Structure 1
Amino acid sequence: MNKTKKVIFDAAIKSFSKKGYHKSTMDEIAEAAGVAKGTLYYHFKSKEDIFKFIIDEGIKMIKEELYDKTKHLDDPTDKLRKVCEVQLKLVITYLPFFKTVLSQMWGDEDRQTHLREVLKKYFVLLEGYLLEAADESFINKNNIEIIAFNFFGVMTSTVVYNITHKDIDIEEVLDNLVEFLMRGIGKK
């Protein structure tokens, strides 16, 4: 992502997170990014284009981070732990991005449909990690698709916990989360 698009990306996330999609304006995004309105329109035709861009780029960054942090691991449970760690840390680090994602999950507008399609691709990635663990008999193979969605949901609710409990040890939360997830989807 080039430098201009990066500052627009960051400014749009802040605006969408703080004011919501509908109340954010192209003028505000341009001002927050420190670019001329013409520059904003040079890169994006509309606010909806900006939204789709931040979703595509944000999920791409998450996927790349997951790949980078798991590519050297052989044990499927180590990979699942790392997936939990990466998701949790990214959600905490990029909370405005995730607030934007969660706020736009519902609805039938083009950007919302686009968001759900991008997230489905991310869930397929999660399914791959879960299937690998299932193939090694670390977890049950039943309902892997639903488990991937639940895996993400548990991570999201953990972030809510983190927001309401400011003085927590992320590593302790991570250990508890991984134990909970592995018991919840593990073999009996």
Structure 2
Amino acid sequence: MLSNSEPSSCDVAVLYRQQHSWLQNWLRRRLNCSQSAADLAQDTFMRLLAKEQVPQLHAPRTFLAKVAQSVLSNHYRRQKLERAYVEALAAMPEQVAPSLETQAILLETLIALDAALEGLERPVREAFLWSQVDGLSHGEIAERLDVSITTVKRYIVKAGAMCIMLDDSLDLL
């Protein structure tokens, strides 16, 4: 049905018409919420439209389930992040809590940062978080990852560069 070249909106539209109801039901069984299932089904098809290439599909439901599982994982990670953020805000004294507008901007930035960090290789992400969040030294991180201090520094620089690129892209919004 779909070719190996750039996906045309027509191909995705055909797939959408043929499989949308099935996908939404598949998601509803996992989420137990028809509104969230509808949103994530749409997100799944939007992800397909954004792909440069969609493989030839012999089993479209298997393919859609795999893409939807990734969308679902992102959904759960975002919910967990939002809960932690709300808990942190609730723990702050009211007089120092940021404005609602600032809270929304911070949450959007936090979600973008989480998505960007998720795209890094596991050791790079861990080195960066252990350094920036947990305050571990390069030597402690090197020991945990069983790599050299030079490698730890390279990991942290790589993740930091990604954060700078993310900051630049958020400034454009």
Q: TM-score, normalised by structure 2?
A: 0.33
